[in-house]
Amino acid sequence: MNGARLKSALAIVLGTVAVAAISGCDAKENADLANGRQLFKSDCGVCHALKEAGTTATVGPDLDAAFAASRAAGMDNDTIEGVVADQIAEPRVTDEADPSYMPAGIVEGQDAEDVSAYVGSVAGVPGIEPPTAPGGPGGQIFANNGCTACHTLGVAQSAGNVGPNLDDVLPGQSPDQIRQDIVDPGAKIAAGFDNIMPATYGDSIPSEDLDKLINFLSTCAGIGSSGDEGDANIQFNDDGSCVAPGGGK
């Protein structure tokens, strides 16, 4: 997202903050924060950064940045929750071709309440650090960029099904092929899946982190699965790569 677009998006979020502060917003007493966190990671984290969820996407506004100043000025969780609920129900109007396009009602009903309450409880809170993800340095980059929300990968303990199962499709692919899949996902779309992966990762992921992510995917896919006893013996290297039990990559 370029600077002008980010400023515009943040202005809309902060403008809604002002309206919500005037009107008042009550927290949903029955909200399930754990469900809200999981839904945020699977449905929202591919576009939005939020430290507590471990997401660092830059397609949409950084929610910590959007609410930090207002929270510091005294805005409470309930009001932030109301702002988020309004944005989910009626996101800013933009062309569907815009990478920052957010569909209305991405989550609905009780799920929308859960997501709103979760974000309201953690966005912009000082001192929150991203959770440590499984899979070593490469797994952390994989999680921080929202990949776990869409893809299954055993060593990352992720079970997303929006995109292909990486344990099935990546073994045998070269690092260059994996790089193209990340930076130009529309070039080759996996059968049975829609072309919804953001085409922004080549710009949003720092080059060193992108190299580590590619090392991680090219060496870790297919060598472990959540719950395998052998997973504890996988070696995770500083360059993002994995070495399977027994020494094979």
pLDDT at 10: 45
pLDDT at 99: 65
Question: Coil, strand or helix: which one is 235?
Answer: strand
pLDDT at 210: 97
Q: Crossing angle of helices 63-72/77-89, nearest 10°? A: 140
pLDDT at 24: 39
59-to-2, 41, 45, 233, 236 alpha-carbon distances in Å: 9, 14, 10, 36, 29
pLDDT at 34: 96
What does residue 42 show for φ and ψ, rounded to 5 degrees?
-85, -35
pLDDT at 92: 80
What's the rounded Cα separation, in Å, for the pair 205 and 70?
Answer: 28
Cα within 13 Å of Cα(8), Cβ side = 11
What's the rounded Cα separation, in Å, for the pair 156 and 133?
Answer: 7
Domain limits, CATH 1.10.760.10, in the chain: 3-122, 136-243
What's the rounded Cα separation, in Å, for the pair 80 and 72?
Answer: 12
Give the residue among 80, 61, 73, 77 at the shortest CA–CA distance from 17: 80
User: What DSSP character marks residue 208?
Assistant: H
**136-243 fold:** Cytochrome Bc1 Complex; Chain D, domain 2 (1.10.760)
The two tokens of residue 99 are: 């990478």
Q: Which CATH architecture has domain 3-122?
A: Orthogonal Bundle (1.10)
pLDDT at 136: 94
List of long-range contacts for 19-22, beta carbons under 8 Å, 24+ apart: 19/86, 20/79, 20/80, 20/82, 20/83, 20/86, 21/70, 21/75, 21/79
Give the residue among 133, 25, 12, 106 at the shortest CA–CA distance from 66: 12
pLDDT at 204: 84
CA 196-199-201 angle, to 5 degrees, is 120
For residues 151 and 164, the answer to whether their CB atoms sit within 8 Å is: yes
pLDDT at 80: 97
Give the residue among 228, 236, 15, 28 at the shortest CA–CA distance from 119: 28
pLDDT string in tens for the chain (249-residue length): 444 444 444 444 444 444 444 333 444 578 999 999 999 988 888 788 999 998 887 788 999 999 999 999 999 999 999 999 999 999 887 776 676 678 888 999 999 999 999 999 999 999 998 889 999 999 999 988 888 878 999 999 888 888 999 999 999 999 999 999 999 999 998 889 888 888 888 988 999 999 999 999 999 999 865 444 345 689 999 999 999 876 655
